[in-house]
Amino acid sequence: MSSSNQHPAATGDSATINASIAELRGLLAAGRISPTELAGTFAARIEAVDPGLNSLISRVEAAAPASTDGPLAGIPYVHKDIFCAKGTRTTCGSRMLADWVAPYDSTVHERLTRSGAVLLGKANMDEFAMGSSNENSHFGAVANPWDAKAVPGGSSGGSAAAVAARLAPFATGTDTGGSIRQPAAYCGVTGIKPTYGRVSRYGMIAYASSFDQGGVIAKSAEDCAIVLGEMAGFDPRDSTSADREVPDYTATLGESIAGLRVGIPRQWFTDALEPAVGDAVTAAIDELRAAGAETVEIDLPDAEIALAAYYLLAPAEASSNLSRFDGVRFGYRCEEPKDLQDLYERTRSEGFGAEVKRRILVGTYALSAGYYDAFYRRAQKARRLVSGHFDRAFGQCDVIAGPVTPSAAFDRGAHSADPAKMYLEDIFTIPVNLAGLPGMSVPAGFVGGRPVGLQLIGRHFDEARLFNVAHQYQQRVDWHRRTPPVAADSSNH
């Protein structure tokens, strides 16, 4: 490999920018590169490449690693700009927090720092994590590195685009209804949303608290396994954090998947799915079979009901969570308010974008007296119904495999006028959040030159199995090694 290539914007030795975390650790341990040089390589790429992508909202001066022997010692990364890191601007993609500097660390940040990871920037995202295309950011849309006309997905679109463009070896993300898996799929990178409660939500700005879960986007299942092992774990500061030991996710990556029962939800391979995406996902499932797995058809009905329930429950929780942004305590404040009412009204109408306002209105309406039973309570029943379908399915299989999204990345602007169309992008990811299960997105090919993903869903706290299955798959295919033009590896051409 050599660093020469046809893309003048691409800087950084291609072997380094495409290296796995384990390989980077090897280079660092052997003294072939110093943490400062490694951070400098990626910082230079950010400088050269990101103006064309807009994947980052802020850049952060790389500090020396806080640990020299932690599993992530010297490994650079970017945070979705929803994670508080003391002293960094933390905007959540909103004008409301455009100038807000976090006064404390999120638990995720604290843990990654302790492990030696080096923060390089804060990634663009849909405002307050509401969106499926990253078009709702106050800081502008993000381009998909594979095709600048296409969206990168959302809401963790900046994180996925940054990893795909090799601006950092990994990025954090959050997934309330698909926001790690969907952008990972659209950008051809690997992402995991762990079991609800696995990663602390402390210091992660809340959207819909009973769904929100932090996770990781990286190039491979192995890299995700390393990073999640550092992020996850019990945190007394998050009341829904799970008090369970975190296994060494890398220890079981190499296990054979012979005899593993893979459930294929028959309702997910119907009209809603674009045929070419279905073909790619079917080919991926064939690889799992070739590796010894057995497939069984399972039933996961009611995805439409799940979608409807989510788009009621998530806004309901958001309407409550976002009430704290009132111009008094945090962030943006309108100019020269006449009185307190005027302060609230103008601060919120000027500080929030259109999609956030839509959600607050829907959520407030759904929770209002007289409508609570008709909407909120019914949606909660639907949530239990959908969880029950998964429980039954896991009686027949060990892991579920299917599509992440109905299609590959769509063009920017394609769904802007029709929120319901945009919400349909989440039809295969949202049921997983309703049930609090772990879900993963693994690159599985291309449709029209744009990446598509295979989704793997596990039982509660069975992340190790997802990593194992994804890793075995990635031993057999090279989709996750393909690089978009901005990260062109000369050995690929």
Site of interaction with ligand GLN (CB under 6 A)? 129-132, 155, 175-179, 207, 314, 426
Q: Which of 80, 122, 193, 219 is catalytic?
A: 80
Q: How many CA atoms lie within 13 A of 403 on its CB side?
A: 30
Give the span between the Cα atoms of 358 and 354, in whole angstroms.
6
- Cβ 480 to ligand GLN shortest distance, Å: 22
Q: How far is CA 254 from CA 165, 282, 327, 471, 475, in A?
A: 28, 23, 52, 8, 10
Q: Which of 132, 133, 156, 179 is catalytic?
A: 179
Is 179 a known active-site residue?
yes
Is 357 a known active-site residue?
no
- Cβ 309 to ligand GLN shortest distance, Å: 12
Q: Can you say whether the dihedral through the CA atoms of 147, 153, 157, 161 is positive or negative? A: negative
> Cβ neighbours of residue 482 under 8 Å, at least 6 residues apart?
188, 443, 451, 492
> Cβ neighbours of residue 275 under 8 Å, at least 6 residues apart?
none
Nearer to ligand GLN, 178 or 403 (CB): 178
Euclidean distance between the first and the last CA atom of the chain, given in angstroms as a whole number:
11
Phi and psi at residue 380, to the nearest 5°: -65, -40
Nearer to ligand GLN, 123 or 260 (CB): 123
Nearer to ligand GLN, 135 or 426 (CB): 426
What is the residue whose two structure tokens read 């294929």? 264
Give the span between the Cα atoms of 214 and 245, in whole angstroms.
17
* Coil vs helix vs strand at 296: strand
386 in Cβ contact with 427 (< 8 Å)? no
Structure tokens at 477: 């295919």
Nearer to ligand GLN, 188 or 315 (CB): 315
- Cβ 138 to ligand GLN shortest distance, Å: 16
Nearer to ligand GLN, 25 or 415 (CB): 415
- Cβ 184 to ligand GLN shortest distance, Å: 12
207 in Cβ contact with 130 (< 8 Å)? yes
Q: Which of 14, 55, 133, 155 is catalytic?
A: 155
- Cβ 177 to ligand GLN shortest distance, Å: 3
Nearer to ligand GLN, 107 or 179 (CB): 179
Structure tokens at 290: 């070739």
β-pair type (76-80, 170-174): parallel
- Cβ 417 to ligand GLN shortest distance, Å: 16
Instruction: Name the residues annotated as catalytic.
Output: 80, 155, 179
